[in-house]
Amino acid sequence: MKLKDLREDIDRIDSRLLALLDERMEKSLLAKAFKPEIADPAREAAIIDRITRSSRCLAGPEFTGDLWKRIMSESRELQSRSPRTIGFQGEHGANSEVAARAWDESIATMPCREFADVFDAVRDGLFDYGIVPVENTLGGLIGPVNSILVYTDLRIVAAVDIPVSHCLLAVPGTDHREIRSAWSHSQALAQCRSFLSRNKLEAKPYYDTAGAARMIAQERPRDAAAIANRFAAEIYDLEILKDDIQDAENNRTRFFVVSREAAKDGGNKCSAVFFTENKAGALFHTLEIFAEERINLTRIESVPDKPGDYAIFIDFEGSDKDERVARAVDRAREATRDFRMLGCYEERRV
């Protein structure tokens, strides 16, 4: 083993330590909701005692104890600030997190494994908000998210539309000529198919784009790279070998921000979901109501529900405080089955 190898091992361990520290802080912030007071001297003393007794650190138990005291002090400070929280699907660096920060750069972002976990955590009060993708210009409708929106009690309080740019990321100092494979989510790999083919890179599917970047940062392979965004490169200290490698230029994703409560200001756009009778002209009649009220529809999508039944999503301009909108909604409720407003909100296009 050479000095270079040892330093690479140290870099790999540092990456894991930072990820674990961030995860600990996230859990500490969420724990505040279940505690009557921020400070818990008995709990902290028990942790310090356990850490110092079980420490096998070459730096000694005193160093370990002092380190944990500093970590817990920072945790208390974080809990006292009590920033608002928003859940997203994927690892840190995911496009959903980019969209969340575009909506509110001061909010604390919390990763979740599945889309359903985001909705459940907001519903249960663990997170203040959740952010989920609903449609992409290349991939179309995000089916799993829209299927949950059909029945959720959460309200849409904002929408964010962001450009999606894929980059080829690798460990700093990697020779691009040695790279043989690229890891990423299957959709990202499909969107970069031409680039991968031109550069003779084997596509390696991974559960998440940012997760692939995190894996490359931790495992530090010399013959592999990740396809993710610039934000993931910054978080995991990866080098951008090539940016904008997606095959199509107009690659954008639209996200909904959901909450337990409706937006207070009403906004300038609304979303609704409903079912129509299975007969000719039923959907046309419903859409005609909005045309007669001179309301502009900006999205019409159908999502399979039960066999032979489809949920219809519509987005339209205006607010439920507008007389024309209120009148159209009342008429639509009479003409459809289970018509439900999902929310009125402001939409931001980045």
Catalytic residue positions, numbered: 253, 255
Contacts of 150 (CB under 8 A, 6+ apart): 273, 303, 305, 311
Q: How many CA atoms lie within 13 A of 326 on its CB side?
A: 5
Residues 6 or more apart in contact with residue 336 via CB below 8 angstroms? 274, 275, 276, 286
Q: Where are the alpha helices (DSSP H) in 221-306?
A: 230-235, 282-292
Residue 49, classified by CB atoms within 10 Å of its CB into exposed (0-12), middle (13-18) or buried (19+), is: exposed
Contacts of 233 (CB under 8 A, 6+ apart): 167, 169, 213, 239, 240
Containing H/E element for 130?
A: strand 129-136
Distance CA 223, CA 176 (A): 8
Contact status, residue 269 vs residue 159, Cβ threshold 8 Å: yes
